[in-house]
Amino acid sequence: MNKLRKSVYLTAGYNTISLGSGRNEFHPRKPRPGLEDYVKEAGEGVIAQINDPANIDEGVIGNFMAARFNKQGNLPGLIPMINPTLKYKPCTRTEGACGSGGLALFTSMKSILSDVSDVVLCLGVEVQNTVKAIYGADILGGAGHYASQRKSGHAYFFPAKFSDRAAAYMAKFGKDNVRRAMAQWYVNAIENARKNPKAQEYHNANPDLFATGMANPNPQAFCDDINVFDCSKVSDGASGLIFASEEGLRKLGVDKSKAVKIYGWGQAENDLTKEPEDLTRLDTSAQAVKQAYEMAGIGPKDIGVLEVHDCFTITGLLMMEATGFAEYGHGWEFVLGGKTKLDGEIPTNPTGGLVGFGHYTGGTGVRQAVDLLHELTGQAGANQVKIDPKRPYGMMISMGGNDRTVTALIVGPA
């Protein structure tokens, strides 16, 4: 694959609140904002940071399952709603399950790289609280292979898939250690989210998070080897940001101090119709990360802040191995030792991650890029981590399904 032909910048990031259980203002039976509201808020939030929306050449929107959660297709048509200048601009929707947002990022980036556009408005959205969790599980199950897996699958299809991963990892590397590491991941996620006013767990006041994270699984009501606190949230929300070329950045009047540059990217796909070969590894994610490191010519030691796709706490542990920060079989140790905390070896998911911030599935990849942008440009507020000038890069991994659709992006100083 060709290396980066030109500089691509990310700027003007915006996240809405991640709304769902946990937020004080959330009530399942009260009216809530819809898809349109979130897309508009995120889009306008981005536009407010650039000089003129007329400079936007095209729009991309990531979304997983609006067709079922909201009975809405044709999402590109929501982009011109944001601002009249977007009427008639080319727009595209991307879908790759929970990796949809990552695909939106990459589609935007590739448009800049191919000289088609100078400025791309990149969005991601999902509104999931339209149905109860038991029905949402059906919808999210679409991230697996329906024909061969759904019938024999669990009521909570995806949680059970990762519960199986947890069981396999526990069997190989010690149940107690892994269980405690998963609880520690939960603790970190909530502690970070408590500093982020937009996070779904912002209001969490639980005095003993570790004990909560250690709750025994309840196989009758949920999964065999994970508890509900091991799961990311059911969320409504959207994120947006701008992808721009050198020329695009100039046109927008954005100073480079407010932007980051892409240094490397990797994208990998695996066969949806097959189950993972080894439940204790995220091999597709590892492949995407490897490509990104190679392109950037850097390694884990150069990364100062990390955003991983922790759809479940066990995924967080496995991600530390897939990204090369921990050796195979040592991800649990790495997390339990506090190395992913904000003051640890590699600050990971500083704004809460999917477990703490929330997981509006099709928008999460975009949210991760927005948060990396904010961390690296000093705009992360209470969630700001200290970026060591010797390790000026940030990396994010967006994952769709059971390690099937993966994008990894490395950004750094503009």
Stretch that binds another protein, among 29-37, 116-124, 213-221, 297-305 (CB under 8 A): 213-221
Separation CA 309–CA 91 (nearest Å): 26
Q: Which tokens hold the place of 220?
A: 């009758």
Told to check if 67 binds another protein by CB under 8 A, we report no
**Residue of 2, 24, 74, 220 interacting with another protein (CB under 8 A):** 220
Least distance in Å: CB of 297 to another protein?
Answer: 47
Instruction: Tell me the pairing of strands 9-15 and 91-94.
Output: unpaired
- Residues 6 or more apart in contact with residue 354 via CB below 8 angstroms: 232, 233, 309, 310, 311, 364
Question: How many residues bind another protein, per CB under 8 A?
Answer: 16
Q: Which is nearer to another protein, 54 or 155 (CB)?
A: 155
Q: Is the four-CA dihedral 247, 248, 251, 257 of positive or negative sign?
A: negative
Q: Is 205 exposed, middle or buried (0-12, 13-18, 19+ CB in 10 A)?
A: exposed
Told to check if 219 binds another protein by CB under 8 A, we report yes
Told to check if 221 binds another protein by CB under 8 A, we report yes
Separation CA 223–CA 79 (nearest Å): 39
Separation CA 321–CA 394 (nearest Å): 17
Told to check if 145 binds another protein by CB under 8 A, we report no
Q: Which is nearer to another protein, 9 or 157 (CB)?
A: 157
Q: Which tokens hold the place of 129?
A: 């609280």
Told to check if 156 binds another protein by CB under 8 A, we report yes
Told to check if 27 binds another protein by CB under 8 A, we report no
Told to check if 154 binds another protein by CB under 8 A, we report yes
x/- track of binding to another protein for residues 222-261 (CB under 8 A): x---------------------------------------
Least distance in Å: CB of 130 to another protein?
Answer: 13
Neighbours of 132 (CB within 10 A): 10
Neighbours of 22 (CB within 10 A): 20
Which parts of 114-143 interact with another protein (CB under 8 A)?
132, 134-135, 137-138, 141
Separation CA 122–CA 19 (nearest Å): 21
Stretch that binds another protein, among 200-208, 217-225, 319-327, 362-370 (CB under 8 A): 217-225
Q: Which is nearer to another protein, 54 or 133 (CB)?
A: 133
Site for another protein, rule CB under 8 A: 132, 134-135, 137-138, 141, 146, 150-151, 154-156, 219-222
